[in-house]
Chains A and B, each alone.
Chain A
Amino acid sequence: MQRSFLFRTPSTLIFLGALALFTIAVTLLSDAFGAGVISTSFVKTLGKTLCLCLIAVAMDLVWGYCGILSLGHFAFFGLGGYMIGMWLMYERTKDIVTASMAQADIPPTPQEVIDAIGTQIFGVVGSSEFPLVWAFADSLFLQLALVVLVPGVLALVFGWLAFRSRVTGVYLSILTQAMTLALALYLFQNDSGLRGNNGLSGLQNLPGAGDIPQSVMSIWFLWASALALGLGYLLAAWVVSGKLGSVIRGIRDDEARVRFLGYSVEGYKLFIFVLTAVIAGIAGALYYPQAGIVNPAEIAPIASIYLAVWVAIGGRGRLYGAVIGAGFVSLISTWFTGGQAPDLPLGFYTIKWVDWWQVVLGLSFVMVTLFAPKGIGGVFDLITGQRAPERHGADLGPDKGSLQEQEALK
């Protein structure tokens, strides 16, 4: 047990290496620093995909390792985006307002500047007052702290309430979904103070960096996203590697037994839930400046379910599986729904992928659940020769998981 956990989990080193190679390759092929093969918008897509991979790692930690199927992690992701978006929008608007007010005869008072920013930002929802939630919007440091704190505290309160009353399994999933729906509906209101369904926009413009072209900016964000993903992966790998990881997997497999062994199951679950919520918040804070806009539709429960889909397709219970799933499915979805995939003529009907991709995705998801519970990650098991026993047919014994007919015949 003296060796560093990195050497006990070689997949982590391989993953970090691959991530570094990928980042360098994209940088060298980009518009800003290299050959210009990859367009700026595609660099942004890749950067966003890295953020999605990061939240998939968080999802894998909470679902694949701890067995909590949370359908609310995209809410934390969105909240992270909102928190950083508030600062970006405030400062950016302040730049514009100050520039336009400098033209006037009389220099503006600080209060006038703030009022003008308020009118600019909230004019779209028929207001000009800054709501209370914007109190720290002028401070980058505080908003960055909120990126971590808001999802963290929300997860802490919600998780404490839910785990305390022993809500588990599908009930917890439905409850998290309800939380997400409530949050999305709340943000959809104009008087929530976050611009209702307009959301926060113009986030791709960093304040004070007006003269840096978007091509350079996109690479910076790619680097930041890759760094966050690398650190997040490392943290997750460390969490699941030691004794903590064993307890967490134990909770997934049989919560009652772990409790009877004397572990505080609720504490462990709460820790994982809050940790992953914070990771999701950070991923969101990196994602939305690249997307340029964050609105309540992003938080809708469906997004969190898609997150579960990615992790399941990639292979849950292994961190690289989550990354592969998120990267693969989100990129291929972009390709199919972006209208780039060629139509498939069947003679009597032409399949337009824009219309039919969702169907394929939904059905392939069913297939993966039924026939390949390990997902894409299972391919690596095949390569390394690990095989699960064939377990089909009726149970021979009275309990679940007992030896089965076909096993016995072999």
Chain B
Amino acid sequence: MPPPPYLQASMIHRTFALIAALILMTVSALAQDSAIQSLLQTHRETIEQSSRKTIGPVITALATSGLPSAQTVLEKWQAKDMWQRKADGQFFYAEKIDSKTYELFDFETNSSVEKAAKSDLKQLKPNSGIRALIGTALVQFQLMDPDPVKRHDALISIERDPEPAHLEPLRAAIAGEQDAALLAKKQRLERLLTARYDAASEARVAAINSFADDLGVDARAMLNPLVQTKRRVVAGDVPADLNIARRLTPGGDDLTGDAAYAMLVDAGLAPAKIDAADIKTTLAANIVDGTVGGVPVAELDDMAGRDRAYAALVAGGLAQPTPTEAQIGAALSAHSFFDAYAEADPAVTQAAEQALRSIGTKVAVNQFLDLSLDAISLASIYFLAAIGLAITFGVMGVINMAHGEFIMMGAYTGYVVQQVIPDYTVSIIVAIPLAFAVTFAAGVAMERLVIRWLYNRPLETLLATFGISIALQQIAKNIFGTQARPLTSPGWLDGAWVLNDVVSISYIRIAIFVLALIFLAVFLFIMKRTRLGLETRAVTQNPRMAASMGINPDRVNMLTFGLGSGIAGVAGVAIGLFAKVTSELGSDYIVQSFMTVVVGGVGNIWGTLAGAAMIGFLQKGIEWMNPSNTLAAQTYMIVFIIIFIQFRPRGIIALRGRAAGD
């Protein structure tokens, strides 16, 4: 099998390089100097001239010389460290001793030659254009550098700013690569550059096709410029030598008649239409004795009057006539409108379009996956915020408007702990039980002092707990101020789990998801497997009967409420990790939390889970449809929930029978 065309090209190139090197060797044998010095001397005049136009062959000669010191020369030259001794024109690199003296070094041996006065030397100062040329030439050395870090850096710099000239050195550097990761990177970059810059059409198409199901951002960044089009207009028929993406008909879907005519005007192919503003300006310029073209100024307050006056001006030769519909139509039909690719090769653009289409499908699938992950993480946040409510509101039927403030208290507890314990990991481990303790205590206090007097009056519970909520919010504001306080997550939660360039999820969201699962398990365990859970369920269903069985309803209510509040506190630590901790943190979540519980179905933890999942997915779905507007997403979500409640007033999972209560 013959090698692919682009490899053939490179082989030819290599042969030339070999010949050049042979010639140079002969030259260096003739001169008594080192090989590199004689090479430099050969091109001495051009180097001294230092012009971007003529320097190219010199740099190529250096780069392809195969001399080990060529890299040093190029590096020093680029860094403006190459000097010329005025006496004999020899080139060295120099280090500054003091302001007047420089120490010269030989390129070949790297040994000091002499210390020379600055006045005897001439510094070579390549301009930025030349330095860029040198940089490109240096790439091949960097790509084969023994240090893998340097090779990696070179690849990154090519990736960032690719040039056709990089292709050859990159291909040359693939063969010798030992490091598997770097090899893969080099091969990928080589394909990217081939697709973009190779001379042979077949090679480019082959390279483009190889990216057809590649999700990398770099692949799309390479393909997109290939299919870029420019909208153009020419007189007569479409020129045959252009790579046409599509022809356009004025008045069609892609090009309105007005836009097409505007293109003609911009291209200078047709006279401009006179719009209302121009008419006004012209009229204003032609006011004579309170009339324009015989029409009194006072009558110019509607378009009919203005048109009459303008027609009079045109008739008098004082204004340009506006083109008629017929003229416009004629002009449009006399010209061809089309989108032309900037890339001249149709095979390449076709392959690129195809590759982009197939990438697009794959990206869409992966975006859906990414969105689902986002939705799951949002759902777990809502679940976390709502699970405490699922206990106090769902199980006990107590509506606690201060629930959001318990979340806030948990978050501030985390913040205070971080002020005391500087290690983030330890502080989070301490903060979680502490937040539970603080909010448990607050919940128990609130139940004892306020809520137990109001068990039969739910609306008044709502109002009383709301009073506590505004008091707590203001107290937090007075203590911590209005600015957001940071709750920093430990270092091992930074970063994200990256599946590919489209799908990724940050570790902190995974942690919150896991935390939500743990909470669910804890809730189920307490409710189904412990004495407290049993007593809670008994007291909820029938307090009087429970009391006659020896359960103390007061104590159970207190503990249950404390548990719900404590869980809110832990949720607060989790939420504080990704949201800013402010005194309004809780009120941001309170309505959504209630929604979650109500939509899911009061009194059932699986309902809360379903509610959180529904709200999370719904919100992400709406955001996806209108990504710029999260406010709209929230609005429509709430409206949807209100309508949803109409059809399932008791939520997704409704309790039936005796447990349903009223």
Contact = CB atoms under 8 A, between A and B. Distances in A.
A278 to B, nearest CB: 21
B441 interface: no
Nearest to B280: A106
Contact of A109 (B302, B456, B459, B464): B302
B280 A309 contact: no
A98 B659 CA distance: 69
Contact of B467 (A111, A162, A365): A365
A84 to B, nearest CB: 24
Contact of A365 (B297, B303, B463, B475): B463
Given A107-B300, A366-B468, A69 B631 contact: no
A300 B527 CA distance: 37
A182 B301 CA distance: 44
A316 B287 CA distance: 71
Looking at chain B's contact residues, the main secondary structure is helix
Interface stretch (A7-15, A184-192, A279-287): A184-192
A67 B462 CA distance: 14
Contacts of B477: 355
A362 interface: yes
B468 A170 contact: no
B464 A106 contact: no
A235 interface: no
Given A106-B284, A167-B649, A186 B635 contact: yes
Nearest to A369: B464
A116 B280 CA distance: 15
B466 to A, nearest CB: 6
Contacts of B629: 189, 191
A60 to B, nearest CB: 14
Task: Please report whether the interface of chain A is mostly helix, strand, loop or mixed according to DSSP.
Answer: helix
B450 A361 contact: no
A107 B467 contact: no
Contacts, number: 153
Interface residues of B, number: 54
A312 interface: yes
Contacts of A104: 284
Interface in B449-485: 450, 453-454, 456, 458-460, 462-464, 466-475, 477-478
Contacts of B646: 161-162, 164-165
A128 to B, nearest CB: 14
For chain A, which range describes its interface: under 10, 10 to 19, 20 to 34, or 35 or more residues?
A: 35 or more
Contacts of B297: 105-107
Contact of B287 (A105, A188, A361): A105
A175 B632 CA distance: 18
B283 interface: yes
B212 interface: no
B645 interface: yes
A365 B641 contact: no
B471 A363 contact: yes
Residue in A110, A166, A178, A363 whose Cβ sees the most chain B Cβ within 10 Å: A178
Interface of B: 280, 283-284, 287, 297-298, 300-303, 306, 399, 450, 453-454, 456, 458-460, 462-464, 466-475, 477-478, 544, 587, 591, 594-595, 598, 629, 631-632, 634-635, 638-639, 641-643, 645-647, 649
Interface of A: 67, 69, 104-111, 158, 161-162, 164-167, 169-171, 173-175, 177-179, 181-182, 185-186, 188-189, 191, 301-302, 305, 308-309, 312, 355-356, 358-359, 361-366, 369-370, 373, 398, 400
24 contacts: A69-B459, A69-B462, A107-B298, A109-B302, A164-B646, A167-B649, A170-B399, A173-B399, A173-B462, A174-B598, A175-B598, A177-B594, A178-B638, A179-B638, A182-B634, A301-B591, A355-B477, A359-B478, A362-B468, A362-B474, A366-B450, A366-B468, A369-B463, A370-B464
